[in-house]
Amino acid sequence: MGNYFIIYENCRRKNFGRYPQIKDYIYKSKINSGKFIDLWIGKEVPNNIILEKAELLLNDNSNLTHGLVPLGAIGFTGALVINNELKFSFKEHYIYGINFLPLNVYHKGVLLDNYNISHISKFDDDLIDFEKTQFSKTHGSYPNRVTEIIDINSKAEFYNEKAKYSNPADNTYILIDKFRINENFNDIDLFALQHVFGGIKFIISEKLKSAMDELGVVCYNYRPINIGYNEWESDPKVRFERYGTK
């Protein structure tokens, strides 16, 4: 089985030209309209519904990278914004439960017609091997957040533990820390996973990562899924020396 990686925003912000890249978000429809894209995360969209999306206005000196970083704005929850070149590369691989829809992006007064936003139609926890996954419990907020590794050995145990902290006021979360792909699904190249640190994350295969490297994609970092979040974030220099990525 090949390696898999979690996609993160690249910490080398000079790659983006101006950071943040996005100057403003344009909302031409009501976010509670029933068709707004954020309301359909993890859901199949009926054929008679056309999802409504926000639009992006870029800073003039932002670089037009393969992927834009919306920084969690409404309308971009757990979403990738990618150009056509990267979308076409994705389409040459096995994508699970993710579609890409055209997105209006404006740069220097020009409407660009080559960007797309992801829509996750399906999450599937069975893609990961729960017996070979490490879980963590986090409590509190940065910089006083406390994280501990907890013992969970099955999907049922995971959801039972999550249910204990279902009240947001608890500020306690049960998360997937590092994991393995279920061997029955190791031919998938791109899928989305929830319940990880930072919310929804996109997982890519080593094969797809190599294709992205060949395209010269510089807007993302890639954390191996067998490396825990705290270890990954602890020291960028050590991270580069060990894993060859920043």
State whether residue 89 is helix, strand or coil. Answer: helix
Q: How does pLDDT run across 142-183, given as a tens digit for each residue?
A: 778 888 999 999 999 999 999 999 888 888 999 999 999 999
Which pLDDT score, from 0 to 100, does residue 241 have? 62
Whether residue 130 sits in one domain with residue 30: no
pTM, 2 dp: 0.91
Claim to verify: residue 92 and residue 152 sit in the same structural domain: no
Same domain assignment for residues 60 and 137:
no
Mean pLDDT of the chain: 91
Q: Is residue 223 part of a domain?
A: yes
For residues 32 and 103, state if they share a domain.
Answer: yes
Pair 70, 132 in one domain: no
- 149 and 95 co-located in one domain: no
DSSP state of 36: B
In this structure, is residue 1 part of a structural domain? Answer: no
Domain range spanning residue 28?
12-120
Domain count, the chain: 2
Q: Does the CA dihedral 13-205-74-197 come out positive or negative? A: negative
In angstroms, rounded to a whole number, what is the distance separating the alpha carbons of residues 112 and 36? 21
Domain membership of residue 199 (yes or no) is: yes
The answer to whether residue 177 is domain-embedded is yes
- State which of 88, 120, 152 marks the end of a domain: 120
Choose among 101, 51, 94, 116: nearest CA to 203: 94
Own/partner contacts of 90-94, CB < 8 Å, gap of 24 or more, are 90/189, 90/190, 90/208, 92/211, 93/189, 93/190, 93/205, 93/207, 93/208, 93/211, 94/187, 94/188, 94/189, 94/190
